[in-house]
Amino acid sequence: MVQPQEPHFFQPLLPGFQTYLTIPIVFFSKHIQGKTNGNTWTLTSDAMDQTWQVIQEERRLTRGWKEFAEAHDLRIGDIVIHGLSQAHDHQNNRTGARFSYSWDYCFKAEVTDSNVREDKLDLPVGATGCNALNKECKKAKLVNIEGKAWNVSMRFNESGGFYYIKGWRKFCAENKCHIGDSFVFNECLKSAGDIASSSRVN
């Protein structure tokens, strides 16, 4: 299990993920580049009592990643969370503790003048049936395709019967969004809260 104190990153799986996984540049620069020895990762999983040796080439996990992905039946739209800890062996390899989540609900959201001005993104009414959401949920994360996460507040509109997100303006600004841009969000459940992974569609 990925522990909160461990450095970790979120990564939505995009077309082509079967052959390699790209480590987000911010995470790579802060936690890996020049700070660890060797180029082999030992991947572990809560789902299986097994380890996989995967080769790191620059920011990519390459040889061995395909076997890991196939063993877990990973698919486009899944979210992987990798935690980084130091392995205690003579090679001093890196160990990635990992979760994988399939998205539970998918919707398209458009950047509009009003939702940026009000700093609020309304979720479709259909999201109320999503297993990742409940009225007790007060916080969420928006994760872009590079794996960077933004903390936002989750609220429920009792009269309208829908959820909405506060903190939308900062997400749009830091992703250099323009009015009319659209994103596809995949909602999935994580033990520490809810994650919405986004991919820009225009």
Mark which of 101, 124, 155 sits at the end of a domain.
Answer: 101
- If asked whether residues 117 and 141 sit together in one domain, one would say yes
> What CATH number should be reported for the domain holding residue 139?
2.40.330.10
Is 82 in the same domain as 136? no
> Strand 21-22 vs strand 149-157: parallel, antiparallel, or unpaired?
unpaired
Residue 159 has a pLDDT of 85
| pLDDT confidence of residue 92 | 42
Greatest extent of the chain over all pairs of C-alpha atoms, in Å: 61
| β-pairing verdict for 193-200 and 139-143 | parallel
Which amino acid, one-letter code, is at 143? V
Q: What is the pLDDT of residue 84?
A: 73
What pLDDT does 149 receive?
84
Residue with tokens 């992703």: 175
Classify residue 162: in a domain, yes or no.
yes
Residue 133 in contact with residue 196, Cβ under 8 Å? no
Distances (CA, A) of 97 to 1, 68, 197: 6, 12, 20
* 94 and 116 both lie in a single domain: no
Q: Are residues 120 and 188 in the same domain?
A: yes
What pLDDT does 160 receive? 83
pLDDT at site 199: 62
Question: How much is the mean pLDDT over the chain?
Answer: 75
Which residues of the chain register pLDDT less than 50? 1-4, 87-102, 191-193
For residue 123, give the nearest of 40, 48, 71, 196 by alpha carbon.
196
Structural domain range at position 156: 105-200
Q: 69-92 pLDDT, tens per residue?
A: 898 888 776 767 677 765 434 344
- Count of the separate structural domains present in the chain: 2
Q: Write down which residue in 69, 101, 133 finishes a domain.
A: 101
Q: Are 198 and 184 in contact (CB under 8 A)?
A: yes
